[in-house]
């Protein structure tokens, strides 16, 4: 299991206002955390406790549905539809809502699973995701400001959409840790995770140590993906992470993923390239990279992004 001696940074986004000393101090801490760990725990009071609780309750209902109903959640893109029944990770199951914040997307997902729809699910997940997207924007804004890339702010924000994934990891009915999700890096821009109180998420530090991420119910885990790593030309770190499960309780989580839109070319700004920071990656389309990543060649590569478009 993860180490108990090292903890992820905990950053407080409560009562935050732009262009204040608090904002300036916090954005420095955000960049430092994303450079050192690639992630941090965020305290964020903009999402009320009752909405967090109702969202987790609604997520549990999804996984109680029969398998043949959950299989209706299909997508041509890997990990955008239903994922489950994998022998390597038998404890894991998840469903995705692509472009989730566009009008009607979450309601359409609910109608897919429940013939009459599910207004309480739609209202909770939609409100939760919309409010969580504000945290995503704050984090990305802080990174761009810290790197002196303010002039790219509008383009950067408009280049992404949001994928929402609801996830369940069964308890293995064992005190011995079992694999819930294999070690990987996320491929998107920023991931924000919210979970129930069942531990399991672990992050690999740069020195090769697995540490447990155990945020309380008022916190979120914010994590960098490889597309943001490429866009900043290596200024932020996409961490390897996994889920290890023990005991008999299920872990439920919801993830908000900022994803580059199809056709948007990820290209490091000129300001990020110099003698000390040579260009790491040629410009690439995120969706086309995913196609490669999930191909036989991509799966066998220890550094798929470098193999695909390394400079």
Write out pLDDT tens, residues 106-151. 999 999 999 999 999 999 999 999 999 999 999 999 999 999 999 9
What Å distances lie between residue 252 and 2, 135, 207, CA to CA? 19, 21, 29
What's the predicted TM-score (pTM) here? 0.95
Pairing, β 190-195 against β 251-260? antiparallel
pLDDT digits (tens, 9 = 90+) for 282-302: 999 999 999 999 888 988 888
Rounded distance, CA 220 to CA 199, Å?
Answer: 13
pLDDT computed for residue 215 by the predictor: 80
Give me 269's structure tokens.
Answer: 């700004």
Nearest to 11 by CA among 134, 28, 19: 28
Confidence of residue 229 (pLDDT cuts 50, 70, 90): very high
pLDDT in tens, 184-214: 999 999 999 999 999 999 999 999 999 998 8
pLDDT at res. 223:
98
Residue 59 — pLDDT band, cuts 50, 70, 90? very high
Crossing angle for the helix pair 119-146 and 105-113, nearest 10 degrees? 140
Q: Give the domains, in start order, of the chain with CATH numbers.
A: 10-265 (2.60.120.330)
């Amino acid at each position: 299991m993860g180490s108990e001696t090292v903890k992820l940074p905990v950053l407080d986004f409560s009562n935050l206002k732009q262009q204040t000393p608090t904002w300036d101090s916090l954005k420095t801490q955000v960049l430092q955390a994303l450079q050192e760990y690639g992630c941090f725990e965020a305290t964020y009071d903009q999402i009320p406790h009752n909405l967090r609780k109702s969202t987790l309750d609604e997520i549990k209902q999804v996984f109680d549905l029969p398998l043949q109903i959950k299989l209706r959640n299909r997508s041509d893109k890997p990990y955008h539809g239903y994922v489950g029944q994998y022998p390597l990770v038998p404890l894991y199951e998840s469903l995705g809502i692509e472009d989730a914040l566009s009008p009607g997307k979450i309601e359409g997902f609910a109608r897919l699973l429940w013939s009459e729809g599910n207004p309480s699910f739609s209202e909770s997940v939609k409100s939760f995701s919309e409010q969580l997207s504000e945290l995503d924007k704050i984090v990305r804004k802080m990174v761009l400001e810290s790197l002196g890339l303010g002039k790219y702010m509008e383009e950067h924000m408009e280049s992404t959409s949001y994928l929402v994934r609801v996830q369940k990891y069964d308890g293995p009915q064992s005190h011995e840790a079992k694999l819930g999700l294999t070690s990987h890096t996320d491929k998107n821009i920023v991931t924000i995770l919210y979970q129930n109180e069942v531990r399991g998420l672990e992050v690999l530090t740069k020195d090769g140590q697995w540490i447990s991420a155990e945020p309380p119910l008022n916190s979120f885990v914010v994590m960098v993906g490889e597309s943001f790593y490429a866009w900043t030309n290596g200024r932020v770190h996409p961490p390897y992470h996994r889920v290890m499960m023990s005991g008999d309780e299920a872990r439920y989580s919801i993830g908000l993923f900022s994803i580059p839109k199809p056709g948007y070319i990820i290209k490091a700004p000129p300001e990020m390239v110099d003698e000390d920071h040579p260009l790491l990656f040629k410009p690439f389309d995120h969706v086309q990279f995913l196609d490669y990543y999930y191909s036989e060649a991509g799966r066998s590569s220890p550094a798929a992004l470098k193999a695909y478009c390394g400079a």
